[in-house]
Structure 1
Amino acid sequence: MQLFECQNCGQALYFENRSCERCGHRLGYVAAQQSLVAIEPEGELWRPLNDPGARYRFCRNADHDVCNWLVAADAPGDFCEACRHNRMIPDLSDPANLLRWRRLEDARHRLFYSLIQFGLPLATRAEHPEGLAFDMLADPEDPDAPKVLTGHDAGLITINIAEADDAERESRREGMSELYRTLLGHFRHEVGHYYWDRLVRDGDPGTLARFRELFGDEREDYAEALQRHYDEGPRPDWRDSHISAYASSHPWEDFAETWAHYLHIVDTLGTASAYGLSLRPSVSQGEPATPPCADPYRAPDIEQLMAAWTPLTLAVNSLNRSMGQPDLYPFVLSPPVVTKLGFVHRLIRSAGEAAGRGAGEGANHHDQLAPA
């Protein structure tokens, strides 16, 4: 994540800020410019200080204070580049659901920040039958009714909003013996399944062949593989070639976990670069500092990312331990895992370049449905 500042007073800003904490200026995010801008009202529209000739309106979800993204005044539709992918939202007649939805949207907008930075294709359901869409739902009140399962199905990502409750999410993390479980992690993992369909399954045969060489044959029965994982636990040697225990359950899950970690790595390195962090991880005298990765989203290869990531994780994990907190990144990247990360890296770069060549095609917006 890049570093933002208020164009009115120079105050450093967080991506989620709705207003500047120093001067009080209203803020809005312009995805096309990758910029959080200070804005002033002009009638029913808003004028950015950094581009006085432009006019914007807020995404309709700003009415619920779950989005701070702007829509160009002459653009079709009511929703921003992120919210136009929402299909179902929680039932807002329950006040607790609004708080959960806000937490989910904070994470989901960070996901879209990365997807847009990479230049990845982002078709909606209106543009493609398997376009990217989100259902964010609560479990039914009837205790005998089926629970909402977080997952992906042909472009539709479903998130159980109970994950937005910290205690519930931590309970599930411990129950499943996971090292890491966050809302942003869920979104990054599930969108990995979506891009497997778009970029591997629907890509060229050579990409699918290389995937099977690294991750395994996805034609293995998925339901049986997951049931075996839950019944018997992960394979004992999973750490040798997988980023997590769950990744060893099936090639699809291995890819989605690897994809999620690639996004973790790139965005965290982007934040480190924005703050100008440089590290000296060696205890020997005279060891040169490791500079930040200038633009992780445009890194030429996985080796450059790993050269910056390894000392950064050592530093941040040590900082967390100094505060009595668990490691920020409690994972070991074995050589086979780095090779898989390299596969994701090349896949994303190729997709972004292809999308750039096809830029200029119009994008349709669609309405957001309230839950039934």
Structure 2
Amino acid sequence: MSNTSNPALRCLPSIPQPPRHASERLHTNRAFTCRCGQPVFFRNSVCLACSAPLGYDPQRGLLIPLDPLPDQAADMALWQSAESTPHEGRYARCRNLNSAAACNWLIPLGDAASPEQDLCLSCRLTRRLPDLSIDSNAEWWGRIEIAKRRMLSSMLGMHLPVVPMADDPQQGLAFDILTSTDGTPIVTGHENGVITLDAEEADDPTRELRRAQLLEPYRTLLGHLRHEVGHYYWHRLVEHTDWLMAFRNEFGDEREDYRAALQRHYSQGPCADWSMRHVSAYASCHPWEDWAETWANYLHMTDTLDTAQSFGIDGERLELTYEPFTAEAFGDAGPDSAEFARLLNQWMQLTGVLNELSRSMGVADFYPFVLSAPAVRKLHLVHRIIETADARWNASEGYMA
């Protein structure tokens, strides 16, 4: 399905909206500049113009040029921000920089003379790997880590708790990236803070075949990771909290038999009217999957808007007229309804244009989803829970306050 079937994109007179500065809502910056003045990008580890080494500081959300730290021991390789004074902005580079993962994330040192770890926060979350002596496994691992770093940078920008399971066995997060060694399929999923991902999902032909077989409009590594991490954050932010009843009111009762619901979905297919209540067909099988699909779509929306706004593209100023959502669409949901309506309307305008650009290239729609009113209310609840979590967690180290 495409956005053109959405009544929200009917051609109507444009409704003026007040001016807005991108910084009002930007969580994660995506536009960076090297000290030489040339643009550099989130995945870069070196400036292609001046060859300056670059690194991403996950605490500050910045891609920065680096200088070697002066007067360091011969067996150390420490760095400082090229724009900092000595003893400020000191870093080690991740051990996986020169591996297939090509990790450009930094390890902030603070007042320490040397790093306690030689892996960055993102790489420390990866608990198990396939046999990397097999070229395809190493290549797939690299693609998965690229997607994981993108996802984590957004979550850190939202001040969500990100802590390795090695540091917090009870509430931490870990990723197992696996391949089958005996023909038994690897099942992608989440359990008790561990996200298991079939590494073969990083093989484009395999993933496309699975997408077609399951009649999915969208299937990517980044989408998998965002969906599965949604299950993790349900346990951290919803279960055993005051949000549980609000969740049940919008998504349904998660105490419904999960295995039976999945078996019913795969044997009978989704209910005929799923698009009237859910963001995807798979979301209709159980409240937990509805949450994870909605969570993933919220991250799609916010990260894409952050990227667009970082580069000066503002959904409010595109030449597309449509019927906007209003705060009344979310019911009695608090004072942030108007803010979320503006965020959603920017998204609707931006994806309407991006879908047309995709069609100009003869490729699949950029955002092949239709947002019904119930799906929008669910997105709003995810937004509220994340915004509330921002006030409950200390993001300076990515750990619980």
Task: Answer yes or no: same fold by TM over 0.5.
Answer: yes
Aligned residue in 2 for 1:165: 203
Task: From 40, 46, 58, give the equivalent of 2:93.
Answer: 58
| CA distance, structure 1, for counterparts of residue 364 and residue 98 of structure 2 | 37
Aligned residue in 2 for 1:16: 43
Aligned residue in 2 for 1:286: none
Task: From 248, 259, 268, give the equivalent of 2:284.
Answer: 248
| CA distance, structure 1, for counterparts of residue 387 and residue 369 of structure 2 | 24
Count matched residues: 343
Per-residue CA deviations over 1:187-244 (Å, capped at 9, x if unaligned) read: 000000000011111322xx11111111111111101000100000000000001000
Task: From 208, 231, 238, give the equivalent of 2:267.
Answer: 231
Aligned residue in 1 for 2:141: 101
Q: Give the letter aligned to residue 93 of structure 2.
A: F
**1:31 corresponds to 2:58:** yes
Cα separation, partners in 2 of 1:311 and 1:247, compared to 1, 3 Å: same
Aligned residue in 1 for 2:67: 40
Larger RCO, structures 1/2 (Cα 8 Å, 6+ apart): 2
SS at match of 1:236: coil
TM-score normalized with structure 1 length: 0.88
Q: Give the letter aligned to residue 246 of structure 1.
A: Y
**1:138 corresponds to 2:173:** no
Cα separation, partners in 2 of 1:210 and 1:355, compared to 1, 3 Å: same
Q: Hey, which bits of structure 1, 4+ residues long, moved more than 4 A?
A: 359-364
| CA distance, structure 2, for counterparts of residue 4 and residue 37 of structure 1 | 11
1:93: how far off?
Answer: 1.4
| CA distance, structure 2, for counterparts of residue 362 and residue 196 of structure 1 | 18
SS at match of 2:392: helix
Cα separation, partners in 2 of 1:76 and 1:299, compared to 1, 3 Å: farther
- Gaps of at least 5 residues in structure 2 are 1-27, 323-335
TM-score normalized with structure 2 length: 0.82
Per-residue CA deviations over 1:257-310 (Å, capped at 9, x if unaligned) read: 000000000000111111112301039xxxxxxxxxxxxxx9973212112011
SS at match of 1:243: coil
Kindly report which structure 2 residues correspond to 1:118-137, keeping only aligned pairs within 5 A, or say none.
118-125=158-165, 126-137=167-178
| CA distance, structure 1, for counterparts of residue 376 and residue 177 of structure 2 | 32
SS at match of 2:150: helix
1:65: how far off?
Answer: 4.6
User: How many percent identity over aligned positions?
Assistant: 46
1:361: how far off?
Answer: 7.7
Task: From 243, 257, 270, give the equivalent of 1:221.
Answer: 257
Q: Give the letter aligned to residue 165 of structure 1.
A: D
Aligned residue in 1 for 2:31: 4
1:3: how far off?
Answer: 3.3
Kindly report which structure 2 residues correspond to 1:173-188, keeping only aligned pairs within 5 A, or say none.
173-188=211-226
Task: From 301, 311, 314, give the equivalent of 2:352.
Answer: 314
Please say if residues 188 and 196 of structure 2, whose CA atoms lie closer than 8 Å, have aligned partners that are also in contact.
yes
